[in-house]
Amino acid sequence: MDIITQTLARELGRQPEHVENVIRLIDEGATIPFIARYRKELHGSMDDQLLRQLAERLQYLRNLEQRKGEIKASIDSQGKLTDQLSAAIDAAATLAEAEDLYRPYKPKRRTRATVAREKGLAPLAQLLFAQGRDCPSPEEAAADFIHPEKGVETVEEALQGASDIIAEEISDDAAIRKELRALFLRRGVLVSKAADKEPEDTVYRLYYDFKCPVSRVQGYQVLAINRGEREEVLKVSVELDGETARVAVRRRVLVPGAPSVAFVRGAADDAYDRLLEPSLEREIRALLTDQANEGAIHMFALNLKPLLMQPPVKGKVTMGLDPGYRMGCKVAVVDGTGKVLDTAVVYPTYGQRQKQEAIQTLSALVRKHQVEHIAIGNGTASRETEQMAVELIQKLGGGVSYMIVSEAGASVYSASKLAAQEFPQFDVNLRSAVSIARRLQDPLAELVKIDPKAIGVGQYQHDMPQAQLGEALDGVVEDCVNTVGVDVNTASPALLRRVSGLNAATAKNIVRCREENGPFTAREQLLQVPKLGPKAFEQCAGFLRVPESPAVLDHTGVHPESYQAAERLLKACGYTLADVAAGAVSGLKEKAEALGLESLAQTCGVGVPTLADIVRELCKPGRDPRDELPPPILRTDVMAIKDLKPGMELQGTVRNVTDFGAFVDVGVHQDGLVHISRLPRKVRHPSEVVAVGDVITVWVTEVDEKRGRIGLTMQGPVVE
């Protein structure tokens, strides 16, 4: 078993054989959702998050091994690779450690030390740095290295050159750099100050005179400071007590009592001040930024998952309203499957007459199509549109409810090539209204059409490494789509391409096949789709549902490779596939447990985790895990921020979770903040108790109507 497998097993706390199996499956081209769902016996039932962590770490460790090989090859080509150095490089646990060992041998640009070596001063530096007891004084030793023809005319010039060489050697010492790096991380302080003497009041005012230990600084603070520095509003540094750092360097290199100790001490101090401190400050800043990016990406992914997994409002005729001032409010009515029935444009913000005309137009649409729900985008003019919707509901006498829907990314989608292909007959604004309506009906199916970075559930997304962010968010989308499952006969190409084993080309081919030949009536028919071969079928089949199939197992998440196992299970428990289709297997789980899951698994030829999954699927064929979550809050009346009073109890929906708290929609068009200190219990991070989409009870603590700020708590009524 190789070193990478052992390292991963130790870091993740998993069995080495399970880790080895996952690595083999990844190398064979299996996707994370497929491995997580259908190969549980091979990896000990790791979840998709842990599997992605394993895959990411595997890539890092493989890159590290590759870089170690390149470093050793480079040093060996110089004839300087010793067994001891080779072993040290092999033992390096991080890229930084490997690069530190390579530093003395790395080709450098021309430096002061390079110039000194060209002047023949390397032997003098070596002699003085050795600090031998019998070494002459530095001045006496330097006298032998005065060579005017090489540009060394005085003792002082010779000693300066030797000092430059020693300083660079100290700066390149891996052990010294490692110790100082640890010192910076333990005792360094991140400092930011206003770039101007009399700064304006900006969003960066908290950082005009900011100091925080490197070990305690928060990721969101690092990202804010970095942005302020880029915008030339802030000046930033990492400070460490200079004398403490110099003592650490001296302790490593000085030999007390040697004739040249004072000279080497001066070179060591120069090494720290001129070379080590600036270099390590850049390293620490980069490390803090990397950690902040990693944390922000993790937070973005954490928020995106519950947003995508919001419970759908299925099968209801829905009206989507895309609010606006100048261009009016765009209206789209869609049926229970998302098909567009009607569109209109109304102008409720133009005046009272136009508002009443808008209500009349919308009332006619509601009656004509039996609209049950209204989805209102939360952008410009949303408040006025919400007021109009409430008046509309009152005029209709009830029977209709509404919900404010995040329209983040709707404009990106409506102007996209995908939207143009889907709705060539509509202009950009009407496409946006359709998207808003569908977001209420099935958030996942609609949001997959948009770049996850545009959905707006993170902070500083434009400052992060875009490839890394995109990869993480794509992984979340992929996991959500495959957790829910996809109807092969109704899904859009945008949704299908997120299914395990499929890509943009095979997704389009599936749609083309069903358009040309009619709906799929069996999973095996997917093998007839161009470019969808046996390997892709293995990866995707279990996640694609075929409701039109006469075979009930095609409606479920049971993989075709386990169909025989499912039939054996049913037979052993006294049921048939017809019972599954009729929903008459409610006692299946109890009977399976009575027979003993382990012996039953052997009878069926599968492992216990797979057997448990099959039982779950057969009990609820085609189940949607989102249906088990609390439904979204649909409203029939409206409040404004001026209606809020401290102590008021409200139901709200979590819209965003950050490092410092959670933003909650309480129905007043302005999200309130539950600060981390106001959560129901003490936590290290808000995500431990709340997630995007959660419906929670909150109490108002403070209202600042002028600044549009609402303070909330989850700790109970506010006591004056």
Q: For the chain, how many residues are written?
A: 720
Q: What is the largest CA-CA distance in the chain?
A: 105
Distance (Å, whole) CA 308 – CA 443: 6
Taking the CA of residue 616 as centre, how many other CA atoms within 13 Å lie in the half-sphere pointing to its CB?
Answer: 11
CB 407 within 8 A of CB 381: no
pLDDT at 639 over 70: no
- Tell me, what's the pLDDT at 544? 95
Q: For the chain, how big is the Rg over CA atoms in Å? A: 33
The amino acid occupying position 228 is G
Name the packing angle between helices 219-230 and 277-308 (round to 10°): 110
Per-residue pLDDT of 42-84, as tens digits, reads: 999 999 889 999 999 999 999 999 999 999 999 999 999 999 9
Sign of torsion over alpha carbons 427, 433, 436, 440? negative
Six-digit token string for 543: 């996640």
- How much is the average pLDDT of 13-24? 96
Mean pLDDT of 142-159: 93
The 3-state secondary structure of 441-458, one letter per residue: HCHHHHHCCCCHHHCCCC
pLDDT at residue 554, as a whole number: 95
Q: What is the residue-wise DSSP string for 6-27?
A: HHHHHHHT--HHHHHHHHHHHH
Q: How much is the average pLDDT of 89-109?
A: 91
Task: Note the pLDDT tens digit of each residue in 206-255.
Answer: 999 999 999 999 988 999 999 999 999 999 999 999 999 999 999 999 99
Mean pLDDT of the chain, nearest integer: 91
**Whole-number Å distance between alpha carbons of 240 and 242:** 6
What is the arithmetic mean of pLDDT over 588-613? 92
Give CA separation, 565 vs 114, 414, 473, 561, 617, in Å.
72, 46, 35, 8, 13
pLDDT of residue 634 exceeding 80: no
Q: Is the pLDDT of residue 503 over 70?
A: yes
Q: What is the pLDDT of residue 622?
A: 78
Six-digit token pair at 42?
Answer: 């091979």
Q: Which fold has domain 318-479?
A: Nucleotidyltransferase; domain 5 (3.30.420)
| pLDDT value of residue 486 | 93
**Do the bridges between strand 209-213 and strand 189-194 make them parallel or antiparallel, or are there none, so unpaired?**
antiparallel
Specify the CATH number of the domain 3-105: 1.10.10.650
CATH number 2.30.110.10 is the correct assignment for the domain at 641-713: no
Give CA–CA dist 52/222, Å, rounded.
26
Using DSSP, state whether 327 is helix, strand or coil: coil
Residue-wise pLDDT for 306-337, tens only, equals 888 888 888 899 999 999 888 899 999 999 98
CB burial readout 198-220, b (16+ within 10 A) else e = eeeeeebeebbebebebeebebb
| Cα dihedral 534, 539, 542, 546 sign | negative
Give me 152's structure tokens.
Answer: 């060394």
CA–CA distance, 449 with 451 (Å, rounded to integer): 7
- Return phi, psi of residue 610, to 5°: -65, -40
Q: Is the Cβ–Cβ distance between 622 and 547 less than 8 Å?
A: yes
Query: Can you give the pLDDT at residue 510?
Result: 96
Amino acid at 567: E
Q: Which CATH architecture has domain 120-300?
A: Orthogonal Bundle (1.10)
Q: Which residues are CB-neighbours of 628 under 8 A, at least 6 positions away? A: none
What confidence tier does 173 reach under pLDDT thresholds 50, 70, 90?
very high
How far apart (Å, rounded) are the C-alpha atoms in residues 427 and 706? 37
Residues 591 and 620: their CA atoms lie apart, in Å, by 16
Least-confidence region, from 237-246, 252-261, 460-469: 460-469
Looking at the predicted structure, is the pLDDT value of residue 542 above 70? yes
Instruction: Give mean pLDDT, residues 28-49.
Output: 94
Q: Report residue 652's pLDDT band, with 50, 70 and 90 as the boundaries.
A: confident
The per-residue pLDDT for range 224-236, each reduced to its tens digit, is 999 999 999 999 9
- pLDDT value at residue 459: 66
Same fold, 318-479 and 641-713: no
Please tell me the predicted confidence (pLDDT) of residue 719. Answer: 57
Report, as an integer, the average pLDDT of 545-550: 93
**Full-model pTM:** 0.80
Pick the most confident of 341-345, 628-632, 645-649.
341-345
**What is the average pLDDT across 142-162?**
93
Domain coordinates in residue numbering, the chain:
3-105, 120-300, 318-479, 641-713
Which parts of 254-375 fold into alpha helices (H)? 261-270, 277-308, 352-369
Residue 165 has pLDDT above 70, yes or no: yes
Tell me the C-alpha distance between 584 and 575, whole Å. 9
pLDDT of residue 418: 84
| Three state DSSP letters for 544-576 | EECCCCCCHHHHCCCCHHHHHHHHHHHHHCCCC
